[in-house]
Structure 1
């Protein structure tokens, strides 16, 4: 791939353009908002100049509702040898394209499983896709050269290709992406009218659950409008669990010992099913989840503290698998949770204590 055009310079489009430009591909940028395209160009994502002829690959990075129209326009103008989109829904846009009677042999639907709560070109980074799954949904009538160009794009963005059927993809993202967004927003909405005293008690758990609730509503309306059925199916199952959990909690309030026992059993059931589901979430590098130990260290909120603790861990010869910071309410301090291999935890604890760090037991 030597040339490409990115149509739609939001978070995903600009990030892909930055990754391609960094690897020597000449990228042309187009957007219905010319100012947004110029912003992406100023960031080093490419040029707003029109290509002189057909480019190797057109990447359509617009909301799902506009994918078919943008692709159809690009195909009719012959802007590229191959075309793909990066929308988070796959079956609907393809059906729309088929209804337009277009030759779809030069097209493949794709979806990089990466994103942020923030949108727009200023949120974009060249490494957004590194190590992330990038779904490809080829069909029997697709051109092999188009699939190869899509795979090259994935490789240049350092993502991991995953081949799926379009409908299976839409059901999958309903479960692992679209429904979590709504559930996160619903939980966060409870905070809107909550007493200030309650809000001040927010800890890491509520921050984890509500992080993605900061996402752009307009963007999610576009996404959910393109995949309402599968999302509604998952939410219906969650609603059934919620009903059962509410009844179990009411049972725990009862004076009847049998009802309290049944209530406790119902709560235990949902928690254990949650344990089992959580264990299936892929771990580091997409591998099966591993059992790790957490070493929690008191850390001050001042420049250089993070660098110092990582350097000390490195001096101890310990690899940090993951990290999380738990902030202390109203204090210029908190705890950093260092996730390590179980065999490394005692050595790391001893080494950090020797260097003056306070370890939380």
Structure 2
């Protein structure tokens, strides 16, 4: 089994028999051979370092056996109700009591899964949608920050956030749950720069589409027990706060990736996505996430951009494009800077996927060269069958 099903829910430790842990040997130890090189500069507005080496570890979601759940004084009634009536639905976490992990030397107490103060760093299509939906769900205070003043003003005017402090640190120190919704590389920098300002009992998550780097960064900073990565499958080729929607995450699958010691934080973040944003959280290993998204998200983006790139050069001036060309190249309109980061951060998984396209392309070329109608029909039928099943 090489894929975690969207219907799989991981509750408990890494030894759960319901899920395969990629990158683990017989002893259950994570592989250590995955790394990428960040060799590019991110827009200065996010103040990210211009270059560096990011080492990555696979399978960083082992449970610590010396952790024990502790009750929150404000959540005891919910805890008792959940113990009387536990319900687990396929593909989601339901009515599991909030809990925290108590470290041997430092006690950590996580906040309720429905925070009263939520902070969002980055108010683009994803961060802005998160703010809109959180306010509509009744979150008392939502604070937001963006390097773009126009986005902060628009978010306040539309009621997505209650206030927009001038500094990201001011948001971090005032909230119970901090969501990093900047571009993926900027999130790596923000995690470190905001660490001194995050409250002692606050949780941190992100919404980026590459997970190994941010999970490894959280572990390296000592934020593992308080961080869980997140990735909602609800993106859009549009960007900026103008593209934000108040129902973007409703019914969407959101992947949750835990750190080595972060199973408790992962559960808390999963509950937040389900109870506040009406999404379907699924716990997945960071390495498995990046491998899967290279095929299901990053490769389609690359193919759409490839087709648009070719049409831009090969199409005669004034040519009219029908719905087929427009549909096939819709993703090519996505923000180039964002996808540059994603491609480079996950290139060790994306490159093999790109090279694997040579085989089906070669099959079509040979069938056309030989005039083999049966082979062409079979090639097209295989694709058509998959596409129809994808919509089923």
- TM-score by length of structure 2 reads 0.64
CA, structure 1 residues 144+94, in 2 after alignment: closer, same or farther (shift >3 Å)?
A: closer
Whether contact under 8 Å (2:273, 2:280) holds in the other structure is no
Whether contact under 8 Å (2:120, 2:127) holds in the other structure is yes
CA, structure 1 residues 145+117, in 2 after alignment: closer, same or farther (shift >3 Å)?
A: closer
Aligned to 2:155: 40
Whether contact under 8 Å (2:257, 2:266) holds in the other structure is no
CA, structure 1 residues 115+64, in 2 after alignment: closer, same or farther (shift >3 Å)?
A: same
Whether contact under 8 Å (1:112, 1:134) holds in the other structure is yes
Q: Which has the higher contact order (CA 8 A, sep 6+)?
A: 2
Whether contact under 8 Å (1:9, 1:30) holds in the other structure is yes
RMSD of aligned C-alpha atoms?
2.1
Whether contact under 8 Å (1:106, 1:143) holds in the other structure is no
Aligned to 1:118: 238
Whether contact under 8 Å (2:120, 2:145) holds in the other structure is yes
Aligned to 1:17: 131
Deviation of 1:40 (Å): 2.1
| Residue 162 (structure 1) aligned with residue 282 (structure 2) | yes
CA, structure 1 residues 145+234, in 2 after alignment: closer, same or farther (shift >3 Å)?
A: closer
Aligned to 1:87: 208
Aligned to 1:243: 362
- Structure 1, gaps ≥5 residues long: 253-262, 284-288, 290-361
| Residue 210 (structure 1) aligned with residue 210 (structure 2) | no
Q: Which piece of structure 1 moves more, 140-149 or 219-228?
A: 140-149
CA, structure 1 residues 179+53, in 2 after alignment: closer, same or farther (shift >3 Å)?
A: closer
Q: Considering only CA atoms, is the larger Rg found in Structure 1 or Structure 2? A: 1
Aligned to 1:133: 253
Q: What secondary structure is seen at the aligned counterpart in 1 of 2:123?
A: coil
| Cα distance in 2 between the residues matched to 1:145 and 1:182 | 33
| Residue 173 (structure 1) aligned with residue 293 (structure 2) | yes
Once the two structures are superposed, residues 275-318 of structure 1 have per-residue CA deviations (whole angstroms, 9 ceiling, x without a partner) of 3422441x4xxxxx1xxxxxxxxxxxxxxxxxxxxxxxxxxxxx
Compare the two structures and name the one with the higher strand fraction: 1
Deviation of 1:143 (Å): 5.0
Once the two structures are superposed, residues 231-272 of structure 1 have per-residue CA deviations (whole angstroms, 9 ceiling, x without a partner) of 1111111122112221221112xxxxxxxxxx3343233223
| Cα distance in 1 between the residues matched to 2:127 and 2:336 | 19
Aligned to 1:234: 353
Q: Which piece of structure 1 moves more, 16-25 or 46-55?
A: 46-55
Deviation of 1:132 (Å): 1.3
Aligned to 2:117: 3
Whether contact under 8 Å (1:18, 1:126) holds in the other structure is yes
CA, structure 1 residues 167+43, in 2 after alignment: closer, same or farther (shift >3 Å)?
A: same
Match of 2:217 among 90, 96, 116: 96
Q: What secondary structure is seen at the aligned counterpart in 2 of 1:137?
A: strand
Compare the two structures and name the one with the higher helix fraction: 1
Deviation of 1:179 (Å): 0.8
Task: State how many pairs are aligned.
Answer: 270
Whether contact under 8 Å (1:9, 1:61) holds in the other structure is yes
Match of 1:27 among 142, 147, 155: 142
Once the two structures are superposed, residues 148-194 of structure 1 have per-residue CA deviations (whole angstroms, 9 ceiling, x without a partner) of 24422343222221221111111111111111111111222232231
Whether contact under 8 Å (1:86, 1:111) holds in the other structure is yes
